[in-house]
Amino acid sequence: MKRTWTIIGVGDVPGSFKWYQVLFGQPATLPAHHDFGQILDSDGTVLLCLHEWGAHGHPSLMSPDPATPGNGLLLFFRVDDFDLALQRALSLVTRLEEEPHVNPNTQTKEFSLRDPDGYYVTISALSAV
């Protein structure tokens, strides 16, 4: 088994941590550090890592200034509670980037929104309609 640990640069790790926990319907917890946190699934699988811009000297995470945060990146999550995820998403943002629809390629319902740092996040149903 191979897994990816997607790490994104964020301006406020605790704030983004809480935002993603609400989006995924997870109980509220705090990140392990003020400058780094891992959003984990109930089985311990890492879903997303949040890294404070400039912390630890990683060259690609020094600053959001050279490019627009999220440029060239789509965070795509498949969920088993699509309708509830949509309600949670609507509590987090004033508008969706893409309204719920059926993706003709995957035949699954999906919608998209922006996270607090401007990343484009797509939520897709686990099963086809």
Residue 57 domain-assigned (yes or no): yes
CA distance 120 to 73: 7
pLDDT at 1: 62
State mean pLDDT over 78-82.
95
Q: Which domain holds residue 24?
A: 7-125
Q: What is the DSSP letter of 26?
A: P
Look at residue 71 and tell me if it is in a domain: yes
Beta bridge partners, 110, equal 101, 124
Q: How far apart are CA 104 and CA 49, in angstroms?
A: 30
70 found inside a domain? yes
Entry pTM: 0.88
Give yes or no for residue 43 having a pLDDT over 80.
yes
Do the domain assignments include residue 2? no
Tens digits of residue pLDDT in 83-123: 999 999 999 999 999 999 999 989 999 999 999 999 999 99
